[in-house]
Structure 1
Amino acid sequence: MAAAASGVLYAVFAATSMWVTVTDLRTRRIPNRVIAIAAAAIVGCGAVSAFAAADARRWVWAAVAAAIYGGAAFALWLAVPNGAVGGGDVKLAPLIGFATGWSGIDAAFGWAPIGIAAAALAAVAWARFRRRDVLAFGPVLLAGAWIAILITWW
């Protein structure tokens, strides 16, 4: 039961990642409804998995990672002018924190920041951005999260 719930957690995160990536690249918006539904499903699957395994530590660490990611994204949103980090990115960050935290603390606080930085540099280099161009940050955040999840899974 615990493994099935963890599998559903990652499946929901994968589906959300694809939806958000396409939407953010097309419209430069991340729909609140998608994030809210995904967050409820992912946190719920984490709770079911933790309950079935009789081990709440993994859920607690994922929740802590979500809180830290959310706080950091909010601080970045306040600090960076001109809307480079949007409100959708701030709402997406706790979801990424929970998913990477579910993979482990090393994924959330070691590999994810490295993956996000690598994905951002790759996006800027690939698209040949100029100073005034706008980068859809949601796909970059999600790419970094998946890099971290896959590295720690491997």
Structure 2
Amino acid sequence: MYPVMEVITGAFFVLAYQVFGLQLELIIALTLISLFSIITVSDLKYMIIPDKVLLFFAILFIVERLFKPLSPWWASLTGAALGFSLLLLIAIISKGGMGGGDIKLFTLIGFVLGVKGLLLSFFLATLLGAVVGIAGMLIGKFKKGEAIAFGPYICLGTILAYFYGEEIVQWYYSLYI
């Protein structure tokens, strides 16, 4: 798994440079990709998103957003609050169907992306997780009610939302106009 993740991480680093160029936002993108590489391996292998990893990256993102804040300045705070609240509500309603690591991760994602990016990230992560989960059940890889690692889908959905969010939203609107 590790060599594959190294190649994927490198590819995402190149993609981040293509999307953002040499701007401050590139540093945030590279930090996010680094976090997601760690989380993907940890969640797939151990079904856990470590608090120490999230705390370390939270400090980095706070510092980075001081130098490259979202507009308006409070967008990071409202994104974080919504990320926490939305996932906590889901965890309560589903009686533990969402792990604490997922809640904290979406809090961090909300801080980095803001509300719009967070909501698109959540939608894409849920869509990707559902498609893979259903396909896995159809081919017998997953059983109904069995826990699956949601972290990798959160990571991929967030990368798509962060890199291509505006394009995805414009494409979606074009379907109805």
TM-score range, shorter chain: 0.7 to 0.9
Residue equivalent to 2:64? 45
Residue-pair matches, total: 142
Contact map agreement 1:84 1:135 (CA 8 A) in 2: no
Residue equivalent to 2:146? 133
Match 1:98 to one of 108, 111, 115: 111
TM-score by length of 1: 0.81
Aligned residues: percent identity?
A: 21
- Deviation, 1:25, is 0.8
Residue equivalent to 2:157? 144
Alpha-carbon distance in 2 for matches of 1:135, 1:63: 29
Alpha-carbon distance in 2 for matches of 1:106, 1:75: 19
1:53-103 C-alpha deviation (Å, 9 max, x unpaired): xxx63442122111101111111122212x3211111111111112222xx
Residue equivalent to 1:20? 39
Contact map agreement 2:76 2:110 (CA 8 A) in 1: yes
Matches within 5 A, 1:40-79: 40-50=59-69, 57-79=71-93
Point out where structure 2 has 5 or more consecutive residues left out of the alignment. 1-21, 168-177
Read off the aligned partner of 2:124 and give its amino acid letter: G
> Bigger radius of gyration, 1 or 2?
2
Read off the aligned partner of 2:161 and give its amino acid letter: A
Read off the aligned partner of 2:160 and give its amino acid letter: I
Alpha-carbon distance in 1 for matches of 2:125, 2:86: 14
Q: Runs of 4+ in structure 1 displaced over 4 angstroms?
A: none
Change (3 A) 1:150 1:57: closer
Point out where structure 1 has 5 or more consecutive residues left out of the alignment. 51-55
Match 1:8 to one of 19, 27, 37: 27
Change (3 A) 1:8 1:75: same
Higher RCO (C-alpha under 8 Å, 6+ residues apart): 1
